Amino acid sequence: MTKVIIADNHPIVRLGINQLLNEHSDFQIISDVATTNELFQQLSAQQPDVVILEMDIPEINGIATLRKMKQEYPDVKVLIYSGQSEDVYALSTIRAGASGYLSKSANPSYIIDAIEKISQGGMFITNELAQRLAFDEGSQKPRRFFRKLSTREVEVLKMLASGKRNKEVAEGLHLNEKTVSTYKARLMKKLNVDNMVDLLQQAKALELY
């Protein structure tokens, strides 16, 4: 039996996943939590096989939470379940240690497929996403640029796009301001822009806000 923790700050989402998984005898939901603090409290008390993790869960952002989980609980598999753009975030979260990424706009039945595949040691993204990534390979559209960005660069760009100043980005990601400035310069180079207005336009095109 696969033991699962659901980590999402929306009660209706937790309820829906609970109901879906409870229809299958192969899954046991050992907890559902709304914040990262609650998640790590549960992880310290009981070891799940899979955590279904919301990208924008409160207190620590999803990628930072994922990194911390993989450091402290490397055997726990993580499925990112998110309303964020999967084209941008899927590979970034997988690079950070996730075993799969599923958009909240996908058919709910995919959750079952994803957990089954991940719990057996596989990786999961939808066929639709895999096809889009393949077909976009020769495209010059802004969405293609996300492949050039590291996971940390995506985090910095998302925070800048949400209106955060360098100091706030530094505090949120536990960096110093000089490092944030370096990331901004790298982002401008990789996204082929030379000012903040155009950088934020790229962030918008990448659906980061």
24-38: per-residue pLDDT in tens?
A: 889 999 999 999 999
131-177: per-residue pLDDT in tens?
A: 665 545 444 444 555 667 787 888 888 888 777 888 888 988 888 99
Helices 151-161 and 62-72: angle between axes, nearest 10 degrees: 150
Whole-prediction pTM value?
0.68
Higher pLDDT pick, 199 / 25 = 25
Residue where a domain stops, chosen among 103, 133, 163: 133
Q: Is the domain of 56 the same as that of 147?
A: no
Rounded Cα distance, 207 and 33, in Å = 27
90-128: per-residue pLDDT in tens?
A: 877 887 888 889 988 888 888 999 999 899 888 888 777
68-92: per-residue pLDDT in tens?
A: 999 999 999 999 998 877 767 787 7
Q: State the pLDDT at residue 11.
A: 96
Alpha-carbon distances, residue 142 vs 105, 109, 180, 185 (angstroms): 22, 31, 22, 18
- Where in the sequence is the domain holding 157, given as residue range(s)? 139-205
Torsion sign across C-alpha atoms 198, 133, 90, 182: negative
- Residues with Cβ within 8 Å of residue 117, at least 6 apart in sequence: 100, 123, 124
- What's the whole-number average pLDDT of the chain? 84
Q: What angle do CA 33, 38, 42 make, to 5 degrees?
A: 90
CATH of the domain at 101: 3.40.50.2300
Higher pLDDT pick, 181 / 127 = 181
Mean pLDDT over residues 31-52, rounded? Answer: 95
Q: Is the domain of 72 the same as that of 116?
A: yes
**From edge to edge, which strands make up the β-sheet containing 27-33?**
27-33, 2-7, 50-53, 77-82, 100-103
Total number of domains constituting the chain: 2
Q: State the pLDDT at residue 60.
A: 81
Cα 205 from chain centroid? Answer: 18
Q: State the pLDDT at residue 137.
A: 46
Q: Per the structure block, which two tokens stand in for 198?
A: 């155009």
CATH of the domain at 149: 1.10.10.10
Torsion on CA atoms 73, 74, 80, 84, rounded to nearest 10: 90
Q: State the pLDDT at residue 126.
A: 77
Mean pLDDT over residues 35-42, rounded? Answer: 95
